[in-house]
Structure 1
């Protein structure tokens, strides 16, 4: 029987392998195998399917399947670094690469449930998620809107913040969003003083607790062109964003703005910033993805657990072409980021 994991071992990260018909299983296996010496990666997915995939990728890749029932009862066994643990979540149907099958939808939710529960039980230090196809779960009869919303619901978190990170130290680019997947016409009404203040507070708290940044500096964009140009191009900066920033500053948070988004993303402004808060999805993320697509990391702030993910989707077209076409770079960065956040969080709890 393998030895039990202790807190002195490599950080233990649960990796949900995502939509089985997409590139998630391949990039999860490749990244976990590459990082096996520095991170104890525990894959959560169909063990037989992953073993078959691993054999095709690299015959030297060795997996060890365990059941969630055994893990939840007795703890996570420790395997040597030349073997990847897999918590088995059997799929209902055989996987055809590139072809979605809603009959596998509920198994995908089971993967998430196991990763969340295991992290809450301190079996895992963090969760990393490979991309899902929302329609697979929705067509299985579950009203699923995405990883972030599901994680918030399962952890009873009233508000979370989406942040993407990319680029190299010492000045990585981090971009958080005040709103996420909304039609552009709905964005102004969704930005309120109270909501924006809470978003800034979440960013500040997690940069401290999960990134180890003692005094985070947050730069906040305006909503309108030229940050409203004194009200000539819109009043949201005056009526909403400005008051939220004043309230944050009164609470000791170094959050400044609102800055025009078209000029803010320059090295001379970003070099001393720890995060940029953009007002909507396509205001902040094109810059981040241009700078680091394929190496970016999606991070959910505000959760009681650490969760990171890749910066791309399921890539069904690549999966349909067979193994060997997917780039696991973003998954590698997501795992490393989760491990670094886990270490920072452990240090924060001790201090």
Structure 2
């Protein structure tokens, strides 16, 4: 049995990351042990933790903490650029531990990109791109997953007006292939079934409502089908996400951010997990942000983080 723990980067200490990490440990720490990477000063008062220097020392009891130096205390709801370097270092250290084989997977708590840019010149759009940089891979894929649905947006954090231009055959094919391979390797699905959404209403209706579905998406699907992939589409996005439709596929490939995230957040708002596909290691995170508005109040739900821990644990098995 693989007894290696997960590692968890602390995220922005002014957000809800530290408190939901402690709550998550109380729920799943025995079954899915992890080591928290961060500054113990940032944990809520009264949290039982113990400082460790070796990942092998993470069994039972109080939450194990591998210290990462931070410049300043954390003030709930008030991100401090002075702590940016510590947030980035926690992620880097987590990747190092996973790549060395000491940990079975990485779970990341939410970051605040503006604070990282202001305090440390962080030059990446987000976690995913930074992880790809650290891993030395050119392309990764973001999946949002729950028990009810898995979705993958082909384009992510760009304006809707830029989606048609960004939606190239190469990007679409790479996204589908990476998703297909990850479903086999990480999720244990021997023959993945993928549903591919169209870009336009009614998947374009043969070009009467946009040409991208006919001229870009359909040819990629046909080519990949010829290679043996089980694909359906391009499908009208408005009929893809009711229960009978979801039963016919293992993941949905969507063309832009909200087309993917609206259905999964409707079905599993508190339990959705962000998984990065295409990395040489397992990475998951809760599907929410820093939640500054409720940080430090003790009311933040750890459900999505717990789901992320369990998913990373199973993927890393």
Q: TM-score interval w.r.t. the shorter chain?
A: over 0.9
Which secondary structure state, in structure 2, belongs to the residue aligned with residue 139 of structure 1? helix
**Which of 119, 125, 145 is 2:125 aligned to?**
145
Which secondary structure state, in structure 2, belongs to the residue aligned with residue 19 of structure 1? coil
1:77, 1:8 → 2: CA distance? 12
Which secondary structure state, in structure 2, belongs to the residue aligned with residue 230 of structure 1? coil
**Which of 128, 140, 158 is 1:160 aligned to?**
140
Indicate whether 1:226 and 2:202 are aligned. yes
Partner of 1:96: 75
TM-score by length of 1: 0.87
2:113·2:122 contact (CA, 8 Å) conserved in 1?
Answer: no
**Which of 51, 60, 82 is 1:65 aligned to?**
51
RMSD (Å) for aligned C-alpha atoms: 1.3
Q: 204-213 vs 27-36, which deviates more?
A: 27-36
Greater than 3 Å deviation, 4+ residue runs? none
Number of residues of Structure 1 aligned to a counterpart in Structure 2: 316
Cα distance, 1:94 vs. partner?
Answer: 1.4
Residue deviations 1:141-189, cap 9 Å, x none?
232321000001111111111110123xxxx300111100010010001
Partner of 1:293: 269
Partner of 1:205: 181
2:77, 2:209 → 1: CA distance? 46
1:200, 1:79 → 2: CA distance? 37
1:226·1:261 contact (CA, 8 Å) conserved in 2?
Answer: yes
2:276, 2:40 → 1: CA distance? 27
Cα distance, 1:54 vs. partner?
Answer: 5.2
Which secondary structure state, in structure 1, belongs to the residue aligned with residue 233 of structure 2? strand
TM-score by length of 2: 0.96
Cα distance, 1:259 vs. partner?
Answer: 0.2
Indicate whether 1:324 and 2:302 are aligned. no
Indicate whether 1:280 and 2:256 are aligned. yes
Unaligned runs of 5+ in 1: 1-6, 344-351
Which secondary structure state, in structure 1, belongs to the residue aligned with residue 281 of structure 2? coil
1:29·1:54 contact (CA, 8 Å) conserved in 2?
Answer: no
Partner of 2:314: 340
Which secondary structure state, in structure 2, belongs to the residue aligned with residue 287 of structure 1? helix
